Amino acid sequence: MLLLIPGPVTTRPQVRQALAQDIAPWDNESRTFLTRLRGRILRLAGGSDAHTTLPLQGCGHFITEAALRTFLSPGGRILIPATGAYADRMIRLAREAGRIPVPLPMGAADATDPLAVARVLAADPTLSHVGMVYSETGSGVIHDVQAVGAVVRAAGRRMIIDAVSAFGALPLDLSTQPEVDAAVFTANKCLEALPGIAFAVARVDRLEAGAGNAGSWSFDLSNVHEHALRSGPGSFRFTPPAQLLAALDVALDFHDDEGRAARLARYTANMRVLYDGVRSLGLTPMLPPEHQGPVIVNVRAPGDPAWDLQAFVDALKSRGYLISNFYNTSLPTFRVGCIGAIGPDDMAGAVRAMDQALRELGIKQREPVQE
Amino acid sequence: MLLLIPGPVTTRPQVRQALAQDIAPWDNESRTFLTRLRGRILRLAGGSDAHTTLPLQGCGHFITEAALRTFLSPGGRILIPATGAYADRMIRLAREAGRIPVPLPMGAADATDPLAVARVLAADPTLSHVGMVYSETGSGVIHDVQAVGAVVRAAGRRMIIDAVSAFGALPLDLSTQPEVDAAVFTANKCLEALPGIAFAVARVDRLEAGAGNAGSWSFDLSNVHEHALRSGPGSFRFTPPAQLLAALDVALDFHDDEGRAARLARYTANMRVLYDGVRSLGLTPMLPPEHQGPVIVNVRAPGDPAWDLQAFVDALKSRGYLISNFYNTSLPTFRVGCIGAIGPDDMAGAVRAMDQALRELGIKQREPVQE
């Protein structure tokens, strides 16, 4: 069964097998292991001596909330380009944590316009931060964090990057983006490992400046940093999901072997086979080709009255391809991921299975309902 | 290698092996699975129709903070018997979350006195809650949550139980303790599964009353409950550590086969072999026998100038027994866990290994330094 949901992703058997062991988290071997793992992740992010890797138990929501709490003061204001479902997530996390998110409205298929960000920052000096989703799986659009970062830098403001479904495939070089307080991500997307562990790569000076901001011991990244200084870089703060870290380390070996750029090229090839494939079936991707990123393709639901997302998911599943049984676009769609330990042949197989599934369900009208 | 750290614990091979699979969290099979898992845990807690099981990504700190945020209003006051390191943890979590923890001072070797709790509650009507550690691994003492619960109930106050290192072994019947808002725990202690997933079993009426309290979307247990109502009991809120849930389910099969009372009896037998064993070696347990619980034995550090905790840990590790390389008692100790997929014979082997390790290190003076 291939997972195209898109994330948790399909992993390699060696990665999964590394889970199946008992591990003592603060043992000296574990300390050496974690110290090395933090360094590997720092290098993947283009981190310098000015940065550190902060591991956090849990999911993407948790590490995003932790970054918002640590780097924004209570009541602090953050501009968030409204790129889709994951920008909405950041907005809600900030609001419930007592920060003030200011959405920047934009079209669902559009890339974030750096000039629009610059204009809002110039007009509102109270905005200390810009929060930005790098790969918006709510649409499939990749947003240019380098270009937006440049205007944030020029305006003397700070930036938090939600790189959850980008990290490990899309380029990130924090050494060239001093305006970034932190990039946050999880193990179970483009790193091709398992869910339950998250990371921030963050600036040490900003972690020190953020001490006392969080209003939560659990989500205080400054304290995670302080703990590592006090107890050593291999000492996880609180009980870690040690098996997930072991699997991630194996997954990073595969990442080293492949290289980031080659991984991005593989995902892009996956996306192209899928995107062209669904069009050849008479289906309609949500995005025009020039805005379609390599991580997820959202496909408009067929207009046929026989369309039933769960029945379609079940028919694909019986053929070995698992896609999401929900969508998070405003129009009805189905979501297909292009990431994980899969290649273009797998995507070609998925397209053939979609054709068979549509026939099985009696879907004749494959174009979406006209708005 | 046996893990006696104590938790993460030694698991059975079948439990670990259940980790090694790719899982799609919101697939219909996963929904059926999670619905059933929540029910299993609810029954283990003695939950009734008035209760629900709330899973949360992460560790014991996270679920404890989530319960404090959800059931206490911002600025709310909670009495916390100062039983040791894990009570201190609850105190810090509450304080940093903007609640007011009020410690109840007590001796490190003492059980919580219900009458002392009753007196403080009677004198201070602003204390809405009592927060209590059931099994204090900072000392090894088990605290009587039923007796303390009775005085909390009589005083018309509410209670939060940190059952992290108790749940699955020590008795808990929430149907008889309506004063308890929630009991919180993790998978990697007496349930003999892996770290990275936590749970609360909580009262539905109190979850509904607590909506809006949390000041954190991630840690809002009312929202976890609301999500389950809206999206179905098998829909995990945010990406779950799906592999850890699969392993927990296998661990619960073993728990069913053994039974809670038999598991407690096994741990108690483990503790007895260890406790009597270290005394026969000339070592001194921190607690007198009548206060020694079945989960962890803290042993006073030998007074010999050659004593070195890490060297002792290494010498034991070379013999297949892994204990903690830190302690969280005020006096120097070493910690040995009695929980996990281990039996009295394993503990007897650990005691023999300790004797060999002490000889290897040249420890002649095994009694602790006099205070």
Tens of pLDDT along A311-343? 999 999 999 999 999 998 999 999 999 999 999
pLDDT of B330 higher than 70: yes
Count chain A–chain B contacts defined by CB atoms under 8 A: 180
Q: Which amino acid is at A301?
A: A
Residue B10 with chain A: CB contacts under 8 Å: 22
The answer as to whether B265 is a domain residue is yes
Extract the tokens encoding B291. Answer: 């206060």
Alpha-carbon distance of A328 to A326, in angstroms, equals 7
Mean pLDDT within B5-27? 96
Sorting pLDDT into bands at 50, 70 and 90, what band is A31?
very high
Residues A111, A234, single domain; the answer is yes
Residues B218, B316, single domain; the answer is no
The answer as to whether A5 is a domain residue is no
Contact A194 B241 (CB under 8 A): yes
The answer as to whether B5 is a domain residue is no
The predicted structure's pLDDT at residue A7: 86
Q: Which amino acid is at A262?
A: A
Residue A57 with chain B: CB contacts under 8 Å: 57-59, 62, 196
The residues, ordered by sequence, that sit 6+ positions from A362 with a Cβ below 8 Å of its Cβ are A304, A306
B214 part of contact set with chain A, CB < 8 Å: yes
Contact B196 A93 (CB under 8 A): no
Percentage of chain A exceeding pLDDT 90: 98
The predicted structure's pLDDT at residue A348: 98
Residues B87, B159, single domain; the answer is yes
The predicted structure's pLDDT at residue A370: 78
Last residue of a domain, one of A221, A256, A291: A256
Contact A20 B25 (CB under 8 A): no
DSSP B341: S
Mean pLDDT within A360-364? 97
Mean pLDDT within A206-213? 98
Average pLDDT, chain B: 97
The predicted structure's pLDDT at residue B370: 78
Q: What residue in A sits closest to B310 (Cα-Cα)?
A: A28
The predicted structure's pLDDT at residue A37: 98
Tens of pLDDT along B60-109? 999 999 999 999 999 999 999 999 999 999 999 999 999 999 999 999 89
Percentage of chain A exceeding pLDDT 70: 100
Mean pLDDT within A193-217? 98
Residue A60 with chain B: CB contacts under 8 Å: 238-239
Do the interacting molecules here have an ipTM over 0.90? yes
Residues B152, B270, single domain; the answer is no
Residue A197 with chain B: CB contacts under 8 Å: 196
Residues B213, B344, single domain; the answer is no
Last residue of a domain, one of B233, B256, B279: B256
Q: Which residue has the tokens 């054709």?
A: A355
Residues A84, A222, single domain; the answer is yes
Tens of pLDDT along B229-274? 999 999 999 999 999 999 999 999 999 999 999 999 999 999 999 9
The predicted structure's pLDDT at residue B29: 96
The answer as to whether B367 is a domain residue is no
Residue B20 with chain A: CB contacts under 8 Å: 13, 16-17, 19-20
Contact A243 B26 (CB under 8 A): no
The answer as to whether A61 is a domain residue is yes
Please give the tally of structural domains in chain B. 2
β-partners of residue B182 are B160, B202
Residue B16 with chain A: CB contacts under 8 Å: 19-22, 243
Alpha-carbon distance of B327 to B76, in angstroms, equals 32
Last residue of a domain, one of B256, B278, B302: B256
Residues A240, A310, single domain; the answer is no
The predicted structure's pLDDT at residue B6: 87
The answer as to whether B356 is a domain residue is yes
Rg (CA), chain A: 21
Sorting pLDDT into bands at 50, 70 and 90, what band is B142?
very high
Mean pLDDT within B341-350? 98
The predicted structure's pLDDT at residue B55: 98
The predicted structure's pLDDT at residue B7: 86
Mean pLDDT within A167-175? 98
Tens of pLDDT along A69-104? 999 999 999 999 999 999 999 999 999 999 999 999
b vs e for A176-215, b when ≥16 Cβ sit within 10 Å of the residue's Cβ? ebbbbbbbbbbbbbbbbbbbbbbbbbbbeebbeebeebbb
β-partners of residue A342 are none
Residues B102, B171, single domain; the answer is yes
Q: Which residue has the tokens 């006696």?
A: B4
3-state secondary structure of A367: coil
Residue B215 with chain A: CB contacts under 8 Å: 96-98, 215
Cis peptide before A6 (omega within 30 of 0): yes
Residues A102, A173, single domain; the answer is yes
Extract the tokens encoding B216. Answer: 């954190």
Mean pLDDT within A40-45? 98
Contact A26 B325 (CB under 8 A): yes
Note down the domain range covering B317. 259-360
Alpha-carbon distance of B51 to A312, in angstroms, equals 36
B85 part of contact set with chain A, CB < 8 Å: no
Residues B27, B98, single domain; the answer is yes
Rg (CA), chain B: 21
Alpha-carbon distance of B347 to B351, in angstroms, equals 6
Mean pLDDT within A236-243? 98
The predicted structure's pLDDT at residue B53: 98
Task: Indicate the burial class of A281 (C-beta count within 10 angstroms; 0-12, 13-18, 19 or more).
Answer: middle
Residues B53, B116, single domain; the answer is yes
Alpha-carbon distance of B32 to B47, in angstroms, equals 20
B241 part of contact set with chain A, CB < 8 Å: yes
Sorting pLDDT into bands at 50, 70 and 90, what band is A371?
low
Q: What is the CATH number of the domain that holds B164?
A: 3.40.640.10
Q: What residue in A sits closest to B4 (Cα-Cα)?
A: A24
DSSP A291: G
- Between the two ends of chain B, the Cα-to-Cα distance in Å is 35
Mean pLDDT within B128-150? 97
pTM: 0.98
SS3 helix, strand, coil % of chain A, rounded to 5?
A: 40, 15, 40
B317 part of contact set with chain A, CB < 8 Å: yes
Residues A241, A283, single domain; the answer is no
- Between the two ends of chain A, the Cα-to-Cα distance in Å is 35
Q: What is the CATH number of the domain that holds B329?
A: 3.90.1150.10
